[in-house]
Amino acid sequence: MTESETAQLRAELDAANRKLAEAHKMASLGRLSAGIVHEINTPIGSIFSNNEVIMRSLEKIKELLANAQAQGSPPPPKAMEMLDVIAGLASIDKLACERISSVIRSLKTFARVSEHDLRKIDVNDLIRHTIKLSSAVFRRRITFVTELEELPEVECFPALLGQVLLNLVVNAAQAIADEGTVTVRTRSEPPYVCIDIQDTGSGIPPEHRSSIFKAGFTTKPIGEGAGIGLALSRDIIVDTHHGAIDFDSEPGRGTTFHVRIPIQHTRT
């Protein structure tokens, strides 16, 4: 096989892997959608409820002020009290809107289909978006902890790296049967940036460890996983970014996945 034919096959394989990663990313977001909708729906409900109170209060204030004006009297204390209530409700609505905006920003980070361009990013920022989305689904039983050191910008394919982070964080949360903790750590070890994702789940049985990165292998119930997430993650980290991914696991104490990404992408 000639060098040009090898390069063409490699390009076709990369394209196929990216299409598969895109499909898996959208499927992952679909599985998270119920939690994301709930995360957005709760503050929206609060805003609607507050809005009804505000509208009724404004009508009452208008009436009180009109009566005071007709009588040549100063604004009644009741009107001023109601204005204080409205100001408080507006502050709550502002927080609710910020919560919605935060979730939507994180969702857009992963839903974009045009981010296969190679560029430099803040990996810590990508991790924060990952945690924001994941906590929308698992926050009732999972505590998410981040220990993020200052990092240099990493030249990578952001959408693909984001897919890996989402896979690993969601897998870590799903590995915990009841309540537990998922911890994400970063550090710089030039020429790499290192990411550790640790869970307090049941661990990976020794007989499954050699198959973890094989396509089609899954221990999840039907409907929860197709067995391609870790295989895709391995391809994205190792083949596309020329990094490394491995794990440590202890039965009954959890698993830690270790990811190393070159700070400077190597062209092939």
Average pLDDT over residues 190-210: 92
Q: For residues 90 and 54, is the Cβ–Cβ distance under 8 A?
A: yes
Average pLDDT over residues 187-196: 96
How many whole angstroms separate alpha carbon 187 and alpha carbon 193?
Answer: 6
For the segment(s) 3-35+114-262, the CATH number from 3.40.640.10, 3.20.20.70, 3.40.1360.10, 3.30.565.10 is 3.30.565.10
Burial of 225 from C-beta contacts in 10 A (0-12 / 13-18 / 19+): buried
Considering 26-30, 118-122, 158-162, the range whose residues carry the highest mean pLDDT is 118-122
Helix orientation angle between 158-174 and 3-70, rounded to the nearest 10 degrees = 70
Q: What is the CB neighbour count within 10 angstroms for residue 220?
A: 13
Comparing 97-106, 141-150, 255-264, the range with the smallest average pLDDT is 97-106
Q: Which of 149, 165, 167 is nearest to 157 (CA)?
A: 165
Q: Give the bridge partners for 248, in sequence order.
A: 256
How many whole angstroms separate alpha carbon 220 and alpha carbon 224?
Answer: 6
Segments in the chain forming alpha helices (H): 3-70, 77-111, 123-138, 158-174, 229-234
User: What was the pLDDT predicted at 225?
Assistant: 47
Comparing 21-25, 75-79, 128-132, 205-209, the range with the smallest average pLDDT is 21-25
Q: Give the bridge partners for 121, in sequence order.
A: 154
Q: Which of 203, 234, 30 is nearest to 133 (CA)?
A: 30
pTM score: 0.65
How many whole angstroms separate alpha carbon 238 and alpha carbon 83?
Answer: 60
Read off φ and ψ for residue 263, nearest 5 degrees.
-65, -40
Average pLDDT over residues 126-130: 90
Q: What is the CB neighbour count within 10 angstroms for residue 15?
A: 11
CA atoms within 13 A on the CB side of 49: 8
Q: Which of 98, 100, 61, 96 is nearest to 81 (CA)?
A: 61
Share of the chain above pLDDT 70, in %: 75
Q: Tell me the pLDDT tens digit for each residue of 9-66.
A: 777 766 666 666 665 565 666 666 666 666 677 777 777 777 788 888 888 888 888 8
How many whole angstroms separate alpha carbon 189 and alpha carbon 260?
Answer: 9
β 192-199/180-189 pair status:
antiparallel
Q: What is the CB neighbour count within 10 angstroms for residue 158?
A: 22
Q: Tell me the pLDDT tens digit for each residue of 131-149.
A: 988 887 787 789 999 999 9
Q: Which of 154, 235, 153, 145 is nearest to 197 (CA)?
A: 145
